[in-house]
Amino acid sequence: MGITLSFGIQKGGAGKTTSTCMTSYILSRDYKVLTVDMDSQGNATNILTQKDIYQYQDRTVLNAMLERNPEPYIVPVTDTLHVLPADDILVTLDDHIQIFTNPSLALQECLRVIKDNYDFILIDLPPNLGKLTVNGLAASDFAVVNLQSEPLCWKALDRYLELLRLVQERANPNLKLAGILLSMQDSRAAIDSSIIDQVRKDYEDWVFAVTIRRRTRLKEFTLTGITDRTAHDRYALAEYDTFVEELLSRVSQ
């Protein structure tokens, strides 16, 4: 049975989608991967499929949840990397919530249908603590917390960890913290280094050993699609390669 992992934090622009997409790409070299876009911005859909999100209108994760079956809506990007897309209509989940017996478990129930078909299911969460995030966490075996090394994201961390505990207690006792991933470090900024030092001191082994630094090439992958053809590409992906190794060892323990 596949392992489901989500990438989240309620702070916007913290590297959630980038981490979901790079991890999906790297894992798909050796494993069968499904990436689930739970953000109405559709950024993961856009990066991985390289298509406009409106191509998937009425064929998204929302339709999959409403029908309790993702199969008709899964988009194969390669043989081993599939995407369950999102578009901005995903924010209307609330309007349909009465059709679910347990609204927090809509995604979990839907993904159960295909969980055996994948080694990993990765969920990209939106920048808030609302129903989409709760659904994503309730469907996850492991949560990766994206901590951008900047003050407002750091302030958001405790609240996000509190939500993880609530989801564990009330909706998904299987949920475990995979770890805190420090992302988007500006290596020249003293404030980034001091936040990283403090987070490592406070959260010790919960923090992944690797820190993801800012790399322009990672941003360019949004427009070109993710590749590892050139040395420049591989250099940009190297920290995510290290992250994936550590992630695999954490989730297999």
Ligand X SMILES: Nc1ncnc2c1ncn2[C@@H]1O[C@H](COP(=O)(O)OP(=O)(O)OP(=O)(O)O)[C@@H](O)[C@H]1O
Give me the sheet containing 120-124, strands edge to edge: 75-76, 81-84, 33-37, 120-124, 3-8, 142-148, 176-185, 207-213
242 binds ligand X (CB under 6 A): no
- Scanning 11-19, 70-78, 106-114, 191-199 for contacts with ligand X by CB under 6 A, the matching segment is 11-19
Burial class (CB in 10 A: 0-12, 13-18, 19+), 222: middle
Secondary structure element (H or E) that encloses residue 2, with its range: none
Which residues are bridge partners to 143 per DSSP?
6, 177
Considering only residues 48 through 107, tell me which ones interact with ligand X, judged by CB under 6 A. none
Q: Which two tokens stand for residue 152?
A: 């407002």
Considering only residues 26 through 65, tell me which ones interact with Mg ion, judged by CB under 5 A. 43
- Scanning 8-16, 76-84, 136-144, 223-231 for contacts with ligand X by CB under 6 A, the matching segment is 8-16
The letter for the amino acid at 215 is: R
Q: How far apart are CA 115 and CA 34, in angstroms?
A: 9
222 binds ligand X (CB under 6 A): yes
Max CA distance (Å), the chain: 51
Among 214, 227, 228, 250, indicate the residue that binds ligand X (CB under 6 A): 214
181 binds ligand X (CB under 6 A): no
Among 4, 6, 10, 17, indicate the residue that binds Mg ion (CB under 5 A): 17
234 binds ligand X (CB under 6 A): no
Considering only residues 118 through 147, tell me which ones interact with ligand X, judged by CB under 6 A. 127
Between 114 and 126, whose beta carbon lies closer to ligand X? 126
Among 17, 23, 28, 40, indicate the residue that binds ligand X (CB under 6 A): 17
Indicate if the alpha-carbon torsion angle 151, 241, 41, 46 is positive or negative.
Answer: positive
Q: Would you tell me how many other CB atoms lie within 10 Å of the CB of residue 63?
A: 20
How near is the Cβ of 68 to ligand X at its closest, in Å? 26
Q: Which two tokens stand for residue 186?
A: 């500006």
Q: Which two tokens stand for residue 199?
A: 């987070």
Between 114 and 208, whose beta carbon lies closer to ligand X? 208
- Scanning 6-14, 27-35, 98-106, 172-180 for contacts with ligand X by CB under 6 A, the matching segment is 6-14
Between 54 and 235, whose beta carbon lies closer to Mg ion? 54
Indicate if the alpha-carbon torsion angle 251, 235, 145, 36 is positive or negative.
Answer: negative
Site residues (CB under 6 A) for ligand X?
12-18, 39, 41, 43, 127, 183-184, 212, 214-215, 218-219, 222
